[in-house]
Structure 1
Amino acid sequence: MSLKISGLDNLSKKLNKIKTSVEKVQGSHLLPINELFNDKFMCKYSKFKSFGEFADKSSFDFSDIESINDAELDAFIRKNTSFSSWEEMKSTAAKDWTLKQLEF
């Protein structure tokens, strides 16, 4: 008795596509802030429609992120997003971006 298994070609193609996507996102990436915190992300997790609106309402200078007081930024984020800190917000955005690149 033998069984014929079909569909493995499709599975193989899908696995190769995933492999290619994983290779694409490995390592470090320098992303524009509006790509990392895209409009969909900002609408989902904050009171704002875009990162530009978030930045404007915050009064922080995101072009010089190192000059921003961490405690003040975290307080603004706690008040206006579903995150407790800038680090948590960045981490979630990076995960969302990665999943999008992997097409999940």
Structure 2
Amino acid sequence: MFDINITGLDTIKDNIDNIENRLKNINKLSLDELFNTDFMHEYSNFDTIHELFNNRNLNIVTQEDFNNIPKEKLDTVATELTNFSSWDDMFTTATNQYIIKLMS
């Protein structure tokens, strides 16, 4: 029998640990982090998520402000001002892109 020496496993483990730590904090993301400028430019005519909301007179400063927006209003904003068919579609796409970016 012979031994195989594999190098780099510590680096891989460190990378996995780093990704795991970032994913644990994903629920603490700000709207600006999730809907970053690149995302907004790709899917809308706005630079920021706040510009998009302000276009419909939605001034979001706190989490409570955001939570108080009816789902129907979020869907309307998404369908009228972006390339998405619903707020859920927009949110899911942004989340998936964020996770992919974390892993690269």
Structure 2 residues without counterparts, runs of 5 or longer: none
Q: Which runs of 4+ in 1 moved over 4 A?
A: none
Give TM-score scaled by structure 1 length. 0.74
RMSD of aligned alpha carbons: 2.4
1:52 aligns with 2:53: no
In 2, the alpha carbon distance for the partners of 1:13 and 1:43 equals: 38
CA pair 53-28 structure 1, distance change in 2 beyond 3 A: closer
Residue aligning to 2:35: 37
CA contact (8 A) 2:50 2:59 kept: no
CA contact (8 A) 2:44 2:83 kept: yes
Give how far 1:22 is off.
3.1
Q: Deviations over 1:4-42 (max 9, x none)?
A: x99x524x3553244123322146521111111111111
Number of aligned positions between the proteins? 98
Give how far 1:61 is off.
3.2
